[in-house]
Amino acid sequence: MNEVLKRNNVKVIGNKEKVIMFAHGFGCDQTMWRNIVPSFEEEYQIVLFDYVGSGDSNLKVYNSEKYGSLKGYVQDVLDIIEALKLHEVIFVGHSVSSMIGMLAAIQKPEAFKSLVMIGPSPRYLNDREYFGGFEERDIHEMLDMMEMNFIGWASYMAPIVAANDVHPAVAKEVEKSFSSTDPKITKQFAEVTFFSDHRKDLEKSSIPTLIIQCSEDSIVPIQVGEYLHRHIEKSDFKIMDVKGHYPHLSHPHETIQLIKEYLYQMQ
C-alpha cells in the first residue's frame, strides 16, 4: 500500500464517504486541480495523485515497457483505488486521463460510480471519416521538436494549448509544468497519448459519463466531443463557451458548476 501511494505521490483530503479522484493530463501534475478541489472538500473525500514521470512521483520506478501504452497508467489508477480500498469512485480526468479513467472503469466497473471527462479524445489522429484534429506528420514534427529542443517545445506548445491570447497566465503555468518534466518520459507519454486509439473501447463503457469540452480547443475539436457522446451510451455532453484546453485553470467556477450539477443529477 505505502509503495503505491509513494510511487504516485497520492494525497487524500478528508474522510467523507463519497470519493472524487482527480487525474491530471499530459505534462501536468495534481497541482492543476488546486482551483477545483476546495469546492468539493465539504462533501467528498478527495484523492489526488501524480502519474509516474509527473510531479513528485517516484521517477525511479518508471518503466518504458510498462508505460508504453495507457495500460500502465490504467493499472496505476486501479492500484491506488485498491490500496485505499475505495469504491464508487467519481473519476474526474483531464485530457488523456479521461481515457485512462474510462479504461480503468471498463476493467473494474464495480469500483466506479461515474466519470467526468474534461477535454477528452479517444483518438487524436484523423482517420478516414473520423476527424481527430491532427495528421500523423503533425505529431512526428512535435516529437522531433521535443527531442531536439525540449524547452523550446514547451515554450512553443504551451501558448497554443492554453490559448495564450485569452489566458496568458495559464499559458505560463502550463509552460512551466511542461518544462519541469523529464524530457524522455514526457516524449514517450506524448507518443502514447497522441498515437492511441480507443474508439473501439467507447461502447464497452457502462459508467455514467459527463463529457466537458471547450468550444475552441486546439487539441480536441468539437467533433471529437460529439463523437464521444454518440458512442458512450450513458453520457451527457456539455460545451463551455470558452477557449483553451485547461478550463479547470482558466474557468474553474464554470467547471465546478458543471461537475456539481451533473453529480447532483446523478444522486
CATH number of the structural domain spanning residue 84: 3.40.50.1820
Count: domains in the chain: 1
Q: Is residue 216 part of a domain?
A: yes
Q: Which residues contact 60 (CB under 8 A, 6 or more apart)?
A: none
Residue owning grid cell 518503466: 63
For residue 116, being part of any structural domain is answered with yes
Q: What is the pLDDT of residue 217?
A: 95
Is this structure's pTM higher than 0.95?
yes
- Radius of gyration of the chain from Cα atoms? 17
Whether 228 is in a domain gets the answer yes
How many C-alpha atoms does 47 have within 13 Å on its Cβ side? 28
In a domain, 161, yes or no: no
Catalytic positions, written as ranges: 95, 217, 245
Domain membership flag for residue 233: yes
* Residue 235: domain span: 2-122+198-266
**Residue 166, in any domain of the structure:** no
Half-sphere exposure of 10 (CA within 13 A, CB side): 22
* Residue 209 placed within a domain: yes
- What is the per-residue pLDDT for 244? 94
Strands (E), the chain: 11-13, 19-23, 45-48, 89-94, 112-118, 209-216, 235-243
- Would you say residue 242 lies in a domain? yes
The set of residues, in sequence order, having a beta carbon less than 8 Å from that of 65 and lying 6+ positions away, is none
Cα torsion angle, 265, 77, 97, 227, sign: negative
Q: Tens-of-pLDDT digits for all 267 residues of the chain?
A: 789 999 999 999 998 999 999 999 999 999 999 999 999 999 999 999 999 999 999 999 999 999 999 999 999 999 999 999 999 999 999 999 999 999 999 999 999 999 999 999 999 999 999 999 999 999 999 999 999 999 999 999 999 999 878 889 999 999 999 999 999 999 999 999 999 999 999 999 999 999 999 999 999 999 999 999 999 999 999 999 999 999 999 999 999 999 999 999 987
CA–CA–CA angle 216, 259, 110 (5° rounding): 115
CB 157 within 8 A of CB 150: no
Confidence (pLDDT) at 164: 79
